[in-house]
A and B are shown apart, each in its own frame.
Chain A
Amino acid sequence: GIQVEQSPPDLILQEGANSTLRCNFSDSVNNLQWFHQNPWGQLINLFYIPSGTKQNGRLSATTVATERYSLLYISSSQTTDSGVYFCAVEQAGGTSYGKLTFGQGTILTVHP
């Protein structure tokens, strides 16, 4: 099956700093999503971005499907940005119905 690798595994920042999280995947995808997992475990949707670039406030994401990677940018980080960020993909083809394959996540800690 498809492999998803996220980097870095851990990231520590001072408030106000910018950061880039990366997601590499090993095959073509129909769906790519970025999530932030809150302390209670819920996955909060950040971006649905199988290709192209999107922005939402201080966050933006870019997926280059032909090169099989996606980037999540966080600018002017805040302590509330702390948590785990996941990239998840649905492999292209006819057998991956509803199956998201997740990376191992990036643990982001933002210090005041």
Chain B
Amino acid sequence: KAGVTQTPRYLIKTRGQQVTLSCSPISGHRSVSWYQQTPGQGLQFLFEYFSETQRNKGNFPGRFSGRQFSNSRSEMNVSTLELGDSALYLCASSFAEDTEAFFGQGTRLTVV
């Protein structure tokens, strides 16, 4: 079956702009989580959605937001981009809590 799909794969934005990233989970999975990976901070949890509800949120500023649709697809948005937002953004899906998480290929965002 198809894995977790993230679009776009690469993105270049200018400081101050906003960006929207998309994640389509594995069919049947209702939990979607987002992570940011940078060389300095490693992999950090952004937020998690389950059945269109945000259940958990990491320690990121309010410029980072997300949502989940009724078909479990999720989007994350970053407003007023800063140079430090340059990172690999990874999305994971799982059937439920305490089950195996599967990751997409990621979106590599560069802010110039």
Contacts and interface: CB of A to CB of B under 8 A. Distances in A.
A35 B44 CA distance: 15
B37 interface: yes
B97 A98 contact: yes
A31 interface: yes
B97 A42 contact: no
B98 A48 contact: no
Contacts, number: 73
Q: Among A31, A42, A88, A101, which residue has the most Cβ atoms of chain B within 10 A? A: A42
B100 A33 contact: yes
A98 B30 CA distance: 11
- The size bracket of the interface on B is 20 to 34
B43 to A, nearest CB: 4
Given A43-B103, A98-B48, A31 B98 contact: yes
Interface residues of A, number: 24
Contacts of A100: 33, 35, 45, 92, 101
Contact of A45 (B55, B102, B104, B105): B102
Interface stretch (A16-24, A61-69, A89-97): A89-97
Contact of A99 (B32, B42, B48, B99): B48
B58 interface: yes
A90 B97 contact: yes
Interface of B: 31-33, 35, 37, 42-45, 48-50, 55-56, 58, 88, 90, 92, 94, 97-106, 108
Given A88-B43, A98-B56, A99-B33, 12 more contacts: A41-B90, A41-B105, A45-B100, A48-B100, A97-B31, A97-B50, A98-B33, A98-B92, A98-B97, A100-B101, A102-B44, A104-B42
